[in-house]
Structure 1
Amino acid sequence: MSLLSLQHMKTSIGQYHVLHDVTFDVPEGGVFVLLGRNGAGKTTTLRSIMGLWTPSPGSVLFEGADISGLHASAIARKGIAYVPENMGIFGGLTVEENLVLATAKGKFDPARLKRIYDLFPALEKFWTKQAWSLSGGQKQMLSVARAIIEPRRLILIDEPTKGLAPAIIDGMAEAFLEVGQTTTILLVEQNFNFAKRLGQGMAVIDDGRIVHTGSMAAFAADTKLQDQLLSLSA
């Protein structure tokens, strides 16, 4: 059984029909990548899974149970975290305060905090700094750290490399590979080189519909298909 299964999911925002018939499965473990051109529906898919927008009709199955229609807070309590494209951190709070807010009981598990320090040493260095003063890469680290400060079954991550320097992207890739050993990641990403480095499975969305699914290795080897579906040469 897949950890996450989207079945004929449709989402409308006002008068606009953004997702038309989104169907794909995310297996448990590792990194699954959702690719697509700008405006194809990638972010809407993540937001619909998280309950920020309600798909209708269609269903979102998590561990076999239908979670479509649940409030975002109820979905989060099932073990799903969301790292939005805008990072969703609180600029006026310190690194420590941002992470405290993401804990279930307002205190840290020492082992999980050490893991975050190991993944993102800059966060320990700037522990008492307000989040607004961090660099773009450090803010992204903090956003991901908030998602993993508590045990999660699934993390939805939207465009984490946008605007980041190559050295920061390399560090982020290593962190995601480590996190993916214990937590499933559904990653939306425009940087194909980053995506193919991480992903095991993948799907391509275009105009609100899934047009291709398969293994990342096979897709990365087929430049003709990449050009056809993504209009890029990888």
Structure 2
Amino acid sequence: MSLLSLSQMKTSIGQYHVLHDVTFDVPEGGVFVLLGRNGAGKTTTLRSIMGLWKPSPGSVRFRGEDIAGLHASDIARKGIAFVPENMGVFGGLTVEENLVLATAKGKFDDVRLKRIYDLFPALEQFWTKQAWSLSGGQKQMLSVARAIIEPRELILIDEPTKGLAPSIIDGMAEAFAEIGQSTTILLVEQNFNFAKRLGQGMAVIDDGHIAHTGTMPDFAVDTALQEQLLSLSS
């Protein structure tokens, strides 16, 4: 059974119909990538899953339970975390304080904290620094770390490589690959090289519709389909 299953999900924002019958399944484990041109509906899909925008009608099933219409806080308690494109860190708080806010009881599990240090050594180095002073890559590390400081079954991550240097992107890919071994990731990404490096399954959204689903290895070698759906030329 799929960990996450969207069926005919529609989302409107004001008078605009943004998503139209979005349907795809995210299997448990690894990284599933949602691709699409700018404005295709990728972020709206993640926000609708998370309950930040309300899809109607259609269903969003997580482990078989329809979570469409639940509040975002209730969805988070079911084991889903969201890393937004703007990272959402609190600039006036330290790295430590940002992570404390993401814990369930206001204290760290030492094993999980060590895992974060192993994935993102810079966060240990800048532990007492205010988040505003971090680089863009370090803020992204902090944003992802907040999502995994508590056990999660699914993490929704929106455009994590945007504006980052290649060396930081390489480190992020390694971290995501490790995280994906124990936690399913639904990744929205414009950097196709990054996406194909990580993804197992994939879907392409175009103008609010799912235009293609399949495996990333198959899509990565089909340059004609990439050009058709993403305007990617070989």
> Which bracket does the TM-score occupy, shorter chain normalised?
over 0.9
Match of residue 83 from structure 1: 83
- Unaligned stretches of 5+ residues in structure 2: none
Q: Determine if the alignment matches structure 1 residue 128 to structure 2 residue 128.
A: yes
Query: In the TM superposition, what is the alpha-carbon distance from 1:128 to its structure 2 partner?
Result: 0.1
Match of residue 99 from structure 1: 99
CA shift digits 1:80-107 (9 cap, x unpaired): 0000000011000000000000000000
- What amino acid is aligned across from residue 58 of structure 1 in structure 2? G
- Residue 140 of structure 1 aligns to a residue whose secondary structure is helix
| Matches of 2:173 and 2:76, distance apart in 1 | 24
Match of residue 70 from structure 1: 70
Match of residue 223 from structure 1: 223
- What amino acid is aligned across from residue 40 of structure 1 in structure 2? A
| Matches of 1:90 and 1:233, distance apart in 2 | 39
Match of residue 182 from structure 2: 182
| Matches of 1:233 and 1:41, distance apart in 2 | 22
- Residue 96 of structure 2 aligns to a residue whose secondary structure is helix
Match of residue 210 from structure 1: 210
| Matches of 2:31 and 2:5, distance apart in 1 | 15
| Matches of 1:216 and 1:207, distance apart in 2 | 21
| Matches of 2:26 and 2:147, distance apart in 1 | 19
| Matches of 1:233 and 1:186, distance apart in 2 | 25
1:188-203 mapped onto 2 (5 Å cutoff): 188-203=188-203
Match of residue 27 from structure 2: 27
Match of residue 54 from structure 2: 54
Q: Percent sequence identity over matched residues?
A: 88
Match of residue 152 from structure 2: 152
- What amino acid is aligned across from residue 208 of structure 2 in structure 1? G
- Residue 162 of structure 2 aligns to a residue whose secondary structure is coil
CA shift digits 1:148-179 (9 cap, x unpaired): 00000000000000000000000000000000
CA shift digits 1:197-225 (9 cap, x unpaired): 00000000000000000000000000000
- Residue 127 of structure 1 aligns to a residue whose secondary structure is coil
**Alpha-carbon RMSD:** 0.4
Query: In the TM superposition, what is the alpha-carbon distance from 1:232 to its structure 2 partner?
Result: 1.1
> What TM-score, normalized to structure 1?
1.00
Match of residue 168 from structure 1: 168
- What amino acid is aligned across from residue 34 of structure 1 in structure 2? L
CA shift digits 1:40-79 (9 cap, x unpaired): 0000000000000000011100000000000000000000
- What amino acid is aligned across from residue 46 of structure 1 in structure 2? L
Matched residue count: 234
| Matches of 2:228 and 2:151, distance apart in 1 | 39
> What TM-score, normalized to structure 2?
1.00
Query: In the TM superposition, what is the alpha-carbon distance from 1:233 to its structure 2 partner?
Result: 2.0
- Unaligned stretches of 5+ residues in structure 1: none
Query: In the TM superposition, what is the alpha-carbon distance from 1:21 to its structure 2 partner?
Result: 1.0
Match of residue 118 from structure 1: 118
